[in-house]
């Protein structure tokens, strides 16, 4: 069964590209936040990367200025204007396992089975009064 094409302008796809970009650059969420002009501990970037919020135009413009990320990559997924070295790293990452936050989102949505956790042992009470 074929999957419907994804909308490259959706928050989920934008967040996936932001995570891929950060990983390709080898930076932390805090560092990316600082590059886009925030003084938070990475919370703003984390919200963008997790898909809780769409990256603002002001922050995207700051990334464009400071890192060379073209807006058409951030908002539309067009790789043509990415710096060649960054484009190669992102393409390499895209061939690997899905980004971590994307994997977590898929698990929450029920599209991928959750990681297997060890079985919990429960004790059975025999006799005695019931708990209230």
Handedness of CA 101, 103, 106, 110 (dihedral sign): negative
Cα 88 to chain center, whole Å? Answer: 19
| pLDDT tens digits, one per residue of 39-95 | 888 899 999 999 999 999 999 999 999 999 999 999 999 999 999 999 999 999 999
CA-closest candidate to residue 80, choices 89, 90, 70: 70
How is residue 60 written in tokens? 């995207």
The structure's pTM equals: 0.71
Domain boundaries, the chain: 11-107
Give the H or E element holding residue 37: none
- Given CATH 1.10.260, say whether it is the number of domain 11-107: yes
Alpha-carbon distance of 22 to 45, in angstroms, equals: 10
- pLDDT tier for residue 100 given thresholds of 50, 70 and 90: low
């Amino acid at each position: 069964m074929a999957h419907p094409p994804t909308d490259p302008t959706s928050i989920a796809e934008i967040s996936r590209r932001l995570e891929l970009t950060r990983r390709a650059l080898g930076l932390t969420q805090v560092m990316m936040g600082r590059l886009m002009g925030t003084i938070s501990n990475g919370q703003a970037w984390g919200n963008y990367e997790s898909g809780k919020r769409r990256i603002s135009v002001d922050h995207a413009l700051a990334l464009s200025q400071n890192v060379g990320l073209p807006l058409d990559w951030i908002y539309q997924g067009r790789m043509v204007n990415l710096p060649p070295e960054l484009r190669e790293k992102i393409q390499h990452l895209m061939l690997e396992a899905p980004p971590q936050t994307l994997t977590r989102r898929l698990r929450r949505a029920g599209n991928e089975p959750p990681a297997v956790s060890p079985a919990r042992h429960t004790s059975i009470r025999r006799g005695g009064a019931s708990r209230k």
